[in-house]
Structure 1
Amino acid sequence: DGQFRKLELYRPKEVRRKKRTEIKFDLPHPRHTRMPVDQDWPSVWPTAQSFRPSVVPLPLRQGYVERGAPPGKFANLELMKIPNFLHLTPAHLAKHCQVLRQFCTEWPAGLETDEKCEEHFPVEVTDSDYCHSSPTIRDVRSRIVTLKIKLSRLQLDYHAKDKLLRLVKDRYDPATDILTIVTDRCPLKKQNYDYAHYLLTAVFHESWKTEPWEADKEEADMECFLWEKSRSEANLHDFVRRMRQSLGDEEAKGLEHVQRMSADCSDEEVRSVEEVEQYAEAVCEIHNGGESDYAWEKYKKSVCSLLGLGRDTPVGGEVQA
């Protein structure tokens, strides 16, 4: 045929390949295909565990594929490495509560409402726990402790309250009357909890201390007008005593608050008179709240009540129309 034949001294060996026997396993179908509709789920998933696609009867997808649908649940590492809450379904919680019911005690009597709870437990402490899908289970925010208490529950006088507000600065909210202390300096939550209570105790006792230089403050140095121990209070007490001593029983019939007092009335007895309290409140409102028609009208009513003057009686040169 015109082609040169090659001389083959050795015949090529044929490679013999042994055909492997294919072994077929009779694998069962996934469990979720064999579960009834009313399956007891707490028995299937009793505790926290990694995601198993053959058990969960949900068409879940997780992941990202460019220009494609997210991968399914089988052989999906994204579903396996994130935490799931399949062990905390309503059915699980109902069973847990039923088992724990035998260890529970009755709710304390007298704490039925939030107001009663706040009355008996005025200090509110808040902290947080965090859950992450990372190798570490620590979170620096979990050590933060927040303590809240209403300032009115501390029963402070004016000096102690004023000093405490200067110490806490912007941690006090005047709109809600709540003092908030946030501690995050210590590495452990228990340490920050103790530190928050220590700060509350420290500022409380420090606010009651009176420094020697505070005794040198005069009335003009005060931040606001204070009725207690003021010249206005001393003048009013002196005026009420002289009025009681100068008026006889017959002349004091129109002034019941004067008639009720003894001849040598003390300062405490004068302070307890309702008309004196109204006058003191009106004077403080004019000094601290500023002059207004309402403040002067309130001052006028308190003076008329204190002196036993009727509404039709002119006061201080007032002209009646």
Structure 2
Amino acid sequence: MDVATLGIDLGKNSCSLVGLDADGRVVLRRRMRPASIPRFTEKLAPCVIAMEACCGAHYLGRQLIAQGHTTKLMPPEYVRPYVKAQKNDDRDAEAIAEAATRPTMRFVELKSQEQLDIQSLHRVRSRLVGVRTALINQLRAILLERGTTVPQGRRTFERAIDGLLAEAGALPEGRIRQLVVEVRGEWQEIDQRIAALDREFSEMARAEPAARRLSSVPGIEPLTATAMIAAVGKGANFDHARDLAAWIGLVPRQSTTGGKPKLLGISKRGNTYLRTLLIHGARATMHTLSKSKTALGEWLRKLLARAHYNVAVVALANKLARLAWATMRRDIDFAHEQLAAA
């Protein structure tokens, strides 16, 4: 079999493989378990092996590269238009192989094991933050049923609940008071786990030169810096800074027809977690930057004079993503980049 491109539709228990020759004709169809794929591909001559960028694709991709193959990963939404007729695993694998042959196709950079490890830590932290938010909302509902309301804010509510538990008679004795104590203890335990992860991210940012350079950008803390490295590495998959900002989803959506451009809200595509961190970082540093006597501060003041505050926050997040790309690709700190721009 003269296989030039091999498409693999990954699954937990069963995978479909479709091979194309140099002319794009189907010359191979197989279905096998995931563990059997490396044993099968090592018998093939070096070829292009394409997969969707999903769970397990990066691990298998590194194994296939070690065998001498060229691995290409693609976003699933870019493969979908190539699925013909009814959808099934074989059609999906054929669509993956065909999509990989297109010269305009966009590919996903293969992540290292270190990047995947950092990404896993971030996802665990994100889950813990969600659990903490659910506990706080549940406690608010319990207190509200007993006539106690607390202003918004996690820290404000934390002080209020501790005060109620410390004050005798503030909460009726019995099972409900005991329940509030238990939920508060669970909340404190989650706080400790989140704080431990934050310390781990800070240590990573200090030890990794690329993360230290990213942390020099205003609004990018160790949490955002490590998330950026886990998501894009050194940003080599993006030719321009605006490409990274567009991938994160910090650019306007377009609805252009008949030569009449129309820009809508931001696209919100790409990495939701990374976009959230950048917007929060931009909001936190907005006041300081808008008062600074720098090129970035002057640009921000002009923007605030003509745009809504929230629009300016998102625009600043876009700017921070571009500065992050420059620090990663050029191996320089933000101060040097700002001096060169000025």
Please confirm whether the aligned pair reaches a TM-score higher than 0.5, indicating the same fold. no
- Give the TM-score normalised by the residue count of structure 2: 0.20
- Give the TM-score normalised by the residue count of structure 1: 0.21
Larger gyration radius, structure 1 or structure 2:
1
Structure number having the greater helix percentage: 2
Structure number having the greater strand percentage: 2
